[in-house]
Structures are given as C-alpha cells and as structure tokens.
Amino acid sequence: MRVLLECKKVKRTGFLPAYFIGGILAAAFPIVIMSVRSEMYQAQQGSPVEILLGANWQMMAMLNILLVVTGACLLYQTEYADNAMQKMKSLPIKESSVFLGKVILTVIMSLVVLTIEAGAITFCSCRWFEVRDVFFTELCKNFGYAFLLMLPCIILSLLISEACENMWISLGIGVVCVFTATMLPTERFLFSLFPFAAPFQVLAGTNPTQVMHYICAAAAELIGLGMAELIFLKIRRYFA
C-alpha cells in the first residue's frame, strides 16, 4: 500500500525510467567491452561470470551506486519541495514508514537494474563463452551477493537525503561518499565495509570465509542503519 503511494509520487519525476535507462547503460558495458576486445577475455582462465564481472563490475557498480544516490536525492526532494513533508507528517502515518516505503521502492528498482545487468552477463556468456550447467547458479549467487551488499548503500543514501532538506547538499554528500569509496584501499577489510565501497565487491574469485564476513557485516550494517534512522527521527522531532 505504502509502496504504491510512493510509486504514485514518483510517477512524473522520471524516477522509474531513470532506473531502467541506468540499468541498460550499465548492462551495455560488458557487451561493448566484449564486442571490442573479446579475444583478450576469451583467453583468460576462469568461469565466464568471473571473467566478465572482473572486467566490468567496477564500472557497473559505480553506475549502480550513482543511480541509488541520485534516486534517493530525488525521492526526498519531492517531499521537501513545496513542504509536502509537513503534510505527510500531519497524517496519521509514522515518518519511519514513509522512509520504509522509499527503501522498498528503491530496493525493488535496484533488483530490476541488477536483473537487466544479469541479463547482459548471460548474453555475453552465451555469445562469447561456453556456458555450462553451473552457470545459472553462479550467476544468481553473484547477483544475490551484489544485491545484498547494495542494501546498506541504499539505506544510507536515503538517510542522507532525509537529513538534508536541500537536494544539492544530499547529492554533494552522496558524491563525496562515492568518491571516498573509490579512494579507500580495497584490500583493507574494514575500509571496504564502508556502505558505498562494499557494492564494488565481486563474489566470484573471493574466498568463502571472506564472503561470509561481508554478508555478516552487511547484515550488521543494515541493523545499525535502521536503528540510526529511528534515532535520527526521534532526535529531529525532539528539536523541531
């Protein structure tokens, strides 16, 4: 119900088409790269998913994160413009449930984006590599992992845009965070847990214990950010 309401709100903002276009753009990366330099990648050792994600995931993840950050800014900009937020607050709805609605909407759209990207990886694998039975399980595992690591990033960027009334400030903070993520040394485990840096991780080729660490860390981040959201709303209400 609440998600439908959120859908209605974003109807004319171009939010949904932006996610589709973003997904297609990110999906175009592996296809373009493979059609230009297929020999180089065909010669590499490893499964097709591992090779393709190794070559393209940095770019694709970057586009995904930028999409999430921009989308989050927009979702709250429509609330703060013309004081719609005050009207929402006067309704018998919890502010946190508005936030939850936006999170669910972004999560659904990110799933769509990841599905488009998975489609592109499947296409490239069928076209340029030999596809075996295990391919689809591997693909699903990889994109499931990518999806899980994206969740903290979604919640944090929505939290930032909720906190800042002006769109450029939330966008600016988001961009600085994305930039910080690209600057952090990825080999340090603690740094790579930064919600904007984690989505750059790839499952294929990472050792299983480390994968478990990332999954646990992402779950902990989700709980932490959820609590942070509730506390933030309490504090803001107290001072408002």
Partner 1 sequence: MSFFSLLGVEFKKIKRSKILWILLAATVILWLPSIFNVHLNFEMQTEGISPENNFFIQGFLGMSWFMFPASMVVGTVLLSQTERMDSGILKMLALPVSTVKLCLSKFVVLLSIAAVQIFMMTGMYYISAAVCSRTQNYNFILPPLFAAKETGMIFLSAVPMIAFFWMLSVCIRTPIFSIGIGLASIVPSVLVINTKIWFAYPMSYPFFVITSEYGKLAANPDTAQVELIPWIPVALTIVIVCLAVSCICFGQAERR
Write each residue from 71 to 110 as x if it is in contact with partner 1 (CB under 8 A), else as -, in one continuous string. Answer: x-xx--x---x-----------------------------
Interface residue with partner 1 among 3, 7, 25, 228 (CB under 8 A) is 25
Interface residue with partner 1 among 7, 31, 66, 211 (CB under 8 A) is 66
- Output 63 or 116, the one with its CB closest to partner 1: 63
- Output 189 or 220, the one with its CB closest to partner 1: 189
Q: Which of residues 46-65 bind partner 1 (CB under 8 A)?
A: 59, 62-63
Write each residue from 137 to 176 as x if it is in contact with partner 1 (CB under 8 A), else as -, in one continuous string. Answer: -----------------------------xxxx-xxx-xx
Q: Of 66-74, 152-160, 203-211, 225-233, which segment contacts partner 1 by CB under 8 A?
A: 66-74
Minimum separation from the CB atom of position 201 to partner 1 (A): 18
Asked if residue 182 binds partner 1 (CB under 8 A), the reply is yes
DSSP string, the chain: -HHHHHHHHTTTTTHHHHHHHHHHHHHHHHHHHHHHHHHHHHTS-S-HHHHHHHHHHHHHHHHHHHHHHHHHHHHHHHHHGGGHHHHHHHSSS-HHHHHHHHHHHHHHHHHHHHHHHHHHHHHHHHHHS---THHHHHHHHHHHHHHHHHHHHHHHHHHHHHH-SSHHHHHHHHHHHHHHHHHS-TTSHHHHTSTTTGGG--STTS-HHHHHHHHHHHHHHHHHHHHHHHHHHHHHHHH-
Contact footprint for partner 1 (CB under 8 A): 13-15, 18, 21-22, 25, 59, 62-63, 66-67, 70-71, 73-74, 77, 81, 166-169, 171-173, 175-176, 178-180, 182-185
